[in-house]
Amino acid sequence: MRAVVFSGVGKGISVDEVGTPKVEGDHGVLIRVRECGICGSDLAIMEGRHPSKPPVILGHELSGEVAQVGTAVTGVAVGDHVVVDPNVSCGLCQNCRIGRRNMCLNMIELGITRNGAFAEMMVAPEQFVYKVDPRLSWKEGALVEPLACVVHGFEKSRVKPDETVVVYGAGPMGLLWVSLLKRAGVRKIFSVDLAEKRRVVAGRLGADLTIDPAVEDPVARVERETGGMGADVAVEMIGRAETVESAVRSVGAGGRVVIMGVARKEARAQLGPFDMMAREVEVLGSNANSTGFIPAIRLIEAGAIPSGEIVSHELEIADALKGFELCRAGQAMKVMIRPS
């Protein structure tokens, strides 16, 4: 079968012929991948900003159809339309047992540390495979995983309808944030991004004001638009120290800052401890998802997410390298790869 294989930092990716995986164990599920989205984490892996175990087949935002099941599988059957939580936690370590399975000490990450879904077929444990409504399009199903991550961050933010929120970054994840915030009926949504195309889409999805940081200081603009009070919540989806700093400075007293962007491990932001103490600012990390898959499926099935606005390209696997280049150059929103 054909697959997108990452061979290591500096070596890049290639579309190769590889062996078809087989169901191993009683609870394995073989999935015929129909669509898989290119994630910012995939680019971070290629640039060395996110650890992986090359050579590995990338891809973790998938939808597909069950092709074969292990002898003890009862939750799904051949022909079911499914999505997959790629964060395979052990369920036994301390973090898993206290409800932090997204920080499992023995985590297996499909598409990162174990072969993933930029391939015609992939295998996943039954416990992490979820049935979805077969009426969903494949691209809608492939948005469940990134939406589950946003749901996790959304829950951590504790955002309320009467609050104002600024989202730094209007890529696919930032747009999912804007969509959820609009659905939640928050008082005002600001979207900050350098790319005009992305700002336009953010406006269509519900951002009340879009800000070009190359033209004006977003912190000053948010302060002005909130009568000097600052935003109640700021979300950082870019993964840069300077935008983390801006996010912290954008919130007012009692503000919450949610960091979801993947920065380099060595990156350091300059934050004012006295200011954060005096204003009681909370800075919250949000990593992958913990219990977000079922809510994300429900939102997608309810038509709450405008996939047509977020997905800009659907490419065959032979054009996967082109898809990665489009993402790297900022010329695409969400790019979906069709392996089969």
pLDDT in tens, 75-87: 999 999 999 999 9
Query: CATH 3.40.50.720 region(s) of the chain?
Result: 148-285
Measured on CA atoms in the order 177, 90, 70, 22, is the torsion positive or negative?
positive
Domain span(s) for CATH 3.90.180.10 in the chain: 2-143+305-338
Domain 2-143+305-338: top CATH class = alpha beta
pLDDT of residue 25: 86
| Residue numbers in the chain where pLDDT is lower than 70 | none
Residue type, 71: T
pLDDT of residue 286: 97
Note the pLDDT of residue 336. 98
Q: Over the chain, what HEC string results?
A: CEEEEECCCCCCEEEEECCCCCCCCCCEEEEEEEEEECCHHHHHHHHCCCCCCCCEECCCEEEEEEEEECCCCCCCCCCCEEEECCEECCCCCHHHHCCCHHHCCCCEEECCCECCCCECEEEEEHHHEEECCCCCCHHHHHCHHHHHHHHHHHHHHCCCCCCEEEEECCCHHHHHHHHHHHHHCCCEEEEECCCHHHHHHHHHHCCCEEECCCCCCHHHHHHHHCCCCCEEEEEECCCCHHHHHHHHHHEEEEEEEEECCCCCCCCCCCCCHHHHHHHCCEEEECCCCCCCHHHHHHHHHCCCCCHHHHEEEEEEHHHHHHHHHHHHCCCCCEEEEECC
232-288 residue pLDDT tens = 999 999 999 999 999 999 999 999 999 999 998 999 999 999 999 999 999 999 999
What angle is formed at CA 313 by the lines to CA 308 and CA 316, rounded to 5 degrees? 130
Look at residue 29 in the predicted model and tell me its pLDDT.
Answer: 98
Q: Which CATH number fits domain 148-285: 1.10.3720.10, 3.30.450.20, 3.40.50.1100, 3.40.50.720?
A: 3.40.50.720
> Does the pTM exceed 0.85?
yes
pLDDT for position 340: 83
